[in-house]
């Protein structure tokens, strides 16, 4: 084969794929979901497989599931499922706990059917009257059997990703340190990971905008659950100040977190290989009513923040110039300096 006919190597996947939670109503996972992903430039997607504010557990369509799974594999798009918001294993209502089990089981099975890498679930609140310890005992009783079912699905089963909340009321997990007890309740199962929501963490008191705030938060997360369990980041700015315990997402760089902490988060060793999904306002309520316009801007901004900082690029450029000059026998800028 001639050099000109040699196949080009496939581009390396990005260190952190950046994407969005995408709608699927209407034409389904591919026709709506991946079409939206294309429109906003998403490299990874998150979807609902049921009404997020209800208990319904609708059956999927095998043809759509397969089409979505194949399309994501062909495009190199990691997919995730977000379980419904009503799930709470710390509830004082037996009916709510039963529905929570059924709802999470449905999300895990649907996630497996569409090839999702993980299923995100909010960690809930201690409402059972016995405090945090009693609520975690209920978590153990209800979720461990689901993890056994997850094991039975085989090596391509999705991870169960615990998402700490913003710290409202009697949250079971809001600060990173809270994850330790939750993980212990689940015997630190090897397919239990963490979905970090930056707005939630900021609202819970992790001041990501302060010097060293990102590293302190990630250190606390790793100390709580161990390395390698951070599997997904929900990249959201915050409308409110740190510690406000309010879950109000803002577009990247437009809130109290600001853009720079996301650059730090994207470069930190603890996030290597971890996809970032935005759940920010999408533009439907902008004057021009362009759905996804703000998502596209947020994704583009995060992609720019993913690039090395200007100083790092300058050092790399100087090194390359100096090396080329040395080969040519000429002093480069580094040598001249």
Burial (0-12, 13-18, 19+ Cβ within 10 Å), 6: exposed
Distances (CA, A) of 156 to 114, 118, 152, 153, 189: 11, 10, 10, 7, 16
Please indicate if the annotation marks 268 as binding a ligand: no
3-state helix, strand, coil in the chain (%, to 5): 45, 10, 45
Please list, in sequence order, all residues whose beta carbon lies within 8 angstroms of the beta carbon of residue 322, skipping any fewer than 6 positions away.
Answer: 332, 333, 334, 335
- Report CA dihedral (122, 125, 127, 130) to the nearest 10 degrees: 120
Please indicate if the annotation marks 122 as binding a ligand: yes
Backbone angles phi, psi at 124, to 5 degrees: 85, -170
Please indicate if the annotation marks 249 as binding a ligand: yes
For the chain, where are the E strands, in sequence order?
18-21, 45-47, 79-82, 118-122, 159-163, 192-197, 230-235, 237-238, 249-250, 276-278
Report strand pairing: 237-238 vs 249-250: antiparallel
Q: Cβ(67)–Cβ(34) under 8 Å?
A: no
Please indicate if the annotation marks 295 as binding a ligand: no
Please indicate if the annotation marks 298 as binding a ligand: no
Distances (CA, A) of 144 to 7, 172, 210: 48, 17, 38
Please indicate if the annotation marks 163 as binding a ligand: yes
What DSSP string describes 75-87? HT--EEEE--TT-
Which of 230, 85, 263 lies closest to 161, judged by CA? Answer: 230
> What tokens were used for 264?
């730090």
Please indicate if the annotation marks 256 as binding a ligand: no
Q: Which residues are annotated as a binding site?
A: 82, 122, 163, 197, 200, 234, 247, 249, 279
Q: Which residues are annotated as a binding site for Zn(2+)?
A: 82, 122, 163, 197, 200, 234, 247, 249, 279
């Amino acid at each position: 084969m001639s050099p000109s006919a040699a196949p080009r190597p496939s581009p390396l996947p990005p260190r952190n794929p950046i994407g969005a939670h995408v709608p699927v109503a209407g034409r389904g996972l591919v026709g709506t979901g991946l079409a939206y992903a294309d429109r906003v430039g998403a490299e990874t997607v998150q979807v609902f497989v049921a009404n997020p504010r209800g208990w319904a557990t609708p059956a999927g369509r095998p043809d759509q599931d397969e089409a979505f799974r194949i399309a994501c594999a062909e495009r190199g798009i990691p997919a995730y499922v977000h379980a419904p918001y009503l799930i709470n294993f710390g509830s004082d209502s037996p009916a709510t706990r039963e529905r929570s089990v059924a709802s999470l089981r449905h999300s895990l099975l649907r996630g497996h059917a569409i090839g999702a890498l993980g299923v995100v679930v909010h960690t809930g609140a201690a409402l059972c009257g016995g405090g945090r310890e009693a609520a975690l005992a209920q978590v153990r009783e209800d979720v461990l059997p689901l993890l056994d079912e997850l094991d039975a699905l085989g090596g391509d089963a999705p991870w169960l990703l615990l998402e700490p909340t913003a710290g409202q009321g009697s949250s079971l997990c809001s600060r990173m340190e809270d994850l330790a007890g939750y993980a212990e309740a689940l015997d630190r199962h090897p397919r239990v990971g963490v979905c970090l929501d930056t707005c939630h963490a900021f609202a819970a008191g992790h001041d990501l905008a302060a010097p060293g705030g990102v590293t302190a938060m990630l250190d606390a997360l790793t100390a709580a659950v161990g390395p390698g369990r951070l599997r997904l980041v929900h990249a959201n700015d915050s409308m409110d100040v740190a510690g406000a315990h309010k879950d109000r997402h803002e577009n990247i760089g437009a809130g109290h977190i600001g853009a720079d902490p996301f650059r730090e988060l994207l470069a930190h060793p603890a996030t290597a290989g971890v996809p970032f999904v935005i759940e920010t306002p999408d533009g439907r309520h902008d004057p021009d009513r362009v759905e996804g316009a703000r998502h596209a801007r947020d994704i583009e901004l995060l992609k720019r923040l993913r690039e090395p900082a200007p100083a790092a690029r300058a050092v790399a450029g100087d090194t390359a110039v100096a090396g080329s000059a040395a080969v040519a026998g000429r002093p480069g800028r580094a040598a001249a300096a």
